[in-house]
């Protein structure tokens, strides 16, 4: 039972990471910085709750706001760079954060021992005050925000920016503002997610928030789909459970994992959710064409052109 609870909890945390990547992808930006924000959220929340006795939710809110603010500072100059260069800049940011926390020594005496981040040894003994109810409450709030976005004019503007920045500007949308806001939103989600992770796992190590984790976070979105927020949710759950299914393969399970990811990406080139949605749409369009001969779909462009 404890095993399944743990899987449930880790899935929740990974969904948060996936949604934070997705938030920046919503405006067509491909960022690997989320791991850096996750790391900041983890250390800041751990310091606030464990060393300063702050309640979990206050610490999470402060971590979110702090990450959102750093997202503003990073996002604004990053808008000037495009494509692969933006991605590289975000990798650099995550590296800077990793090195920073790897060297951070800030401990205070609590009870009979010293506690706090101890450089490369990490932060041991973080107060464990988050389990599935806390994780899923935060997730619920964030999903609610995504639903609100999807049904609002703001959400339409975000989609417009993603599809065509030039046309979006021509209909009066402030493209810069939208892009920076979504970058901040993604950073804030990662801040809260990292904070929950620290309060869940009791041990925070900067080395864990590495390039590998950044890649996995992109996998979640690539496998699940990047057009609606349900994509990254499905992707995160599938890729969290997959290694467990392959437990029998012992040392070879990560190879199987890699093979399955490749197969999924080939079978569902738009991601699981978007591919299924697309197939259903195509079927209904075909149906339309047979029932009245007016619609011509021959030259239809594929709906998803992938990452720009």
Partner 1 sequence: MFEVTGLSKSFGGLKALENLDISVKSGEVMGLIGPNGSGKTTTINLITGLLKADSGKVQLDGKDLTNKAADIIAKLGTARTFQNLRIFSRQTVRDNIRVAQTTLCKSVFSKFVPFLTDEERAFRSETDALLNEFELSHVSHKRAESLSYGEKKRLEMARALALKPKILLLDEPAAGMNPLELDWLAETIVGLKKSGLAIILVEHHMKLVMKICDRITVLNFGNKIAEGNPKEITNNKDVITAYLGKDHTIA
Binding site for partner 1 (CB under 8 A): 148, 151-154, 156-157, 159-160, 163-164, 166-175, 227, 281, 285, 295-297, 300-301, 303
Strand partners, 118: 105
For residue 83 the two structure tokens come to: 């494509």
For residue 220 the two structure tokens come to: 């979640």
CA distances (Å), origin 78, targets 70, 90, 163: 12, 8, 19
CB of 224 to partner 1, least distance (A): 18
CB of 47 to partner 1, least distance (A): 34
Of residues 114 and 148, the one with the C-beta less far from partner 1: 148
What proportions of the chain, in percent to the nearest 5, are helix, strand and coil? 75, 5, 20
For residue 287 the two structure tokens come to: 């149906």
Cβ neighbours for 95, distance < 8 A, ≥ 6 positions apart: 36, 211
Of residues 127 and 162, the one with the C-beta less far from partner 1: 162
CB of 145 to partner 1, least distance (A): 10
Of residues 44 and 149, the one with the C-beta less far from partner 1: 149
Three-point CA angle 179, 184, 185, nearest 5°: 95
CB of 35 to partner 1, least distance (A): 29
Cβ neighbours for 186, distance < 8 A, ≥ 6 positions apart: 20, 21, 22, 23, 24, 31, 34, 37, 71
Of residues 2 and 170, the one with the C-beta less far from partner 1: 170
CB of 252 to partner 1, least distance (A): 40
Q: Is the dihedral of CA 304, 33, 186, 231 positive or negative?
A: positive
Of residues 103 and 151, the one with the C-beta less far from partner 1: 151
Q: What span, in angstroms and rounded, lies between the C-alpha atoms of 76 and 175?
A: 12
Of residues 52 and 153, the one with the C-beta less far from partner 1: 153
What length is written for the chain? Answer: 308
Single out the residue of 152, 198, 186 nearest to residue 41, CA to CA.
198
CB of 166 to partner 1, least distance (A): 6
Q: With contact defined as beta carbons under 8 Å apart, do 187 and 71 qualify?
A: yes
Of residues 29 and 157, the one with the C-beta less far from partner 1: 157
Indicate the angle between helix axes 230-245 and 2-25, nearest 10 degrees: 140
CB of 5 to partner 1, least distance (A): 36
Of residues 103 and 295, the one with the C-beta less far from partner 1: 295
CB of 194 to partner 1, least distance (A): 27
CB of 304 to partner 1, least distance (A): 8
Of residues 173 and 260, the one with the C-beta less far from partner 1: 173
Q: With contact defined as beta carbons under 8 Å apart, do 280 and 270 qualify?
A: no
């Amino acid at each position: 039972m404890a095993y399944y609870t743990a899987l449930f909890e880790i899935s929740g945390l990974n969904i948060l990471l996936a949604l934070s990547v997705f938030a920046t992808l919503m405006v067509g930006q491909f960022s690997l910085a989320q791991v850096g924000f996750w790391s900041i959220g983890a250390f800041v929340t751990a310091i606030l709750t464990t060393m300063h006795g702050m309640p979990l939710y206050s610490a999470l809110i402060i971590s979110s706001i702090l990450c959102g603010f750093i997202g503003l500072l990073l996002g604004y100059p990053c808008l000037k760079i495009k494509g692969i260069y933006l991605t590289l800049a975000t990798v650099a940011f995550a590296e800077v954060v990793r090195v920073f926390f790897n060297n951070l020594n800030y401990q205070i005496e609590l009870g009979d021992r010293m506690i706090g981040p101890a450089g490369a040894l990490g932060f041991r003994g973080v107060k464990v005050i988050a389990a599935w109810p806390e994780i899923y409450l935060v997730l619920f709030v964030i999903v609610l925000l995504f639903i609100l976005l999807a049904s609002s004019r703001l959400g339409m503007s975000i989609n417009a920016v993603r599809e065509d920045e030039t046309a979006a500007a021509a209909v009066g949308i402030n493209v810069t503002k939208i892009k920076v806001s979504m970058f901040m939103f993604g950073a804030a989600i990662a801040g809260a997610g990292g904070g929950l992770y620290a309060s869940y796992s009791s041990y925070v190590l900067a080395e864990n928030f590495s390039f590998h984790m950044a890649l996995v976070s992109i996998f979640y979105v690539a496998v699940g789909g990047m057009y609606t927020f349900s994509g990254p949710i499905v992707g995160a759950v599938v890729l969290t459970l997959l290694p467990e299914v392959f437990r029998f393969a012992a040392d070879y399970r990560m190879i199987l994992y890699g093979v399955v990811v490749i197969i999924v990406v080939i079978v569902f080139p738009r991601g699981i959710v978007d591919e299924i949605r697309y197939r259903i749409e195509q079927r209904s369009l075909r149906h339309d064409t047979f029932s009245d001969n007016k619609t011509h779909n021959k030259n239809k462009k594929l709906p998803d052109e992938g990452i720009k």
